[in-house]
Amino acid sequence: MKIDINNGFISLKTIETADYPGFAELKLLYTRAFPPDERRDSYELDKMLNNDSFSFLMISHYDKPAGLITFWLIEDYAFIEHLVVTEQFRNRKIGETAVHLLNEALQLPLLLETEHPTEEISKSRVGFYERQGFMIVDADYIQPAYHPEKKPVEMLLLSNQTIEKEKLISLVKSIHKQVYGVI
C-alpha cells in the first residue's frame, strides 16, 4: 500500500525501491535499533520492497529522515513490524504523530509486538504504546525466529482495538505465516 502523507510537521512516505534517497540511512537505523533476533538481516529489506503486503515508510521531520515504520496488511489489520525514531528526534512527539497518521491513513486496527517491560527502555516503549491507545492482547506471544540461526523472542502483542480470542488466534497464525514464513 502506497502512503504519502504530510501534516506540515511530519510526513510518512512509502519507499518502493532500494535506491530511494535516505533508504540506506534508514536500513542502518534499523540494524542499530533492533537486536538481531528481532529483525531481518539488512539485505532482506531490499527484497521486501517487492512484497505487495509489506510497506516500508520513511518518517520525516520536515525534510529530514527521522525514523521508519514497516508494516504488513494481514487480514483486516495492519501489523506494525518495526517502528523507530532516530535518537536526535525522540521526545518530540514524532513517533506519536507517525502512529496517528498511519492509523488515519489505513483506517484499520493496528497490531504490533514489543518486548516485555523488564528494563527502563522496554517499560518506556510499552508506556508509549499504551498512551497511543494500545492494549496488551497476548502477554504470552512468541515472535518466531526470522531465520534458523536466530532465536524466537518472547514478546507482548498489542492492539489499538479489542480482539476476540478466535480472531486473535487467526491473526497470530497469519502473522507467523506471512511475516516469519512459519507454516
Express each pLDDT in 64-101 by its tens digit: 999 999 999 999 999 999 999 998 888 889 999 999 99
Rounded distance between C-alpha atoms, residue 166 and residue 183, angstroms: 18
- Cα dihedral: 22, 28, 30, 36 (round 10): 160
Does domain 4-178 fall under CATH 2.60.120.200? My reply is: no
The answer to whether residue 31 scores a pLDDT higher than 90 is yes
Express each pLDDT in 47-69 by its tens digit: 999 999 999 999 999 889 999 99
Domain ranges of the chain: 4-178
Cell numbers found for residue 113: 509486538
The answer to whether residue 24 scores a pLDDT higher than 80 is yes
What pLDDT does residue 94 have?
94
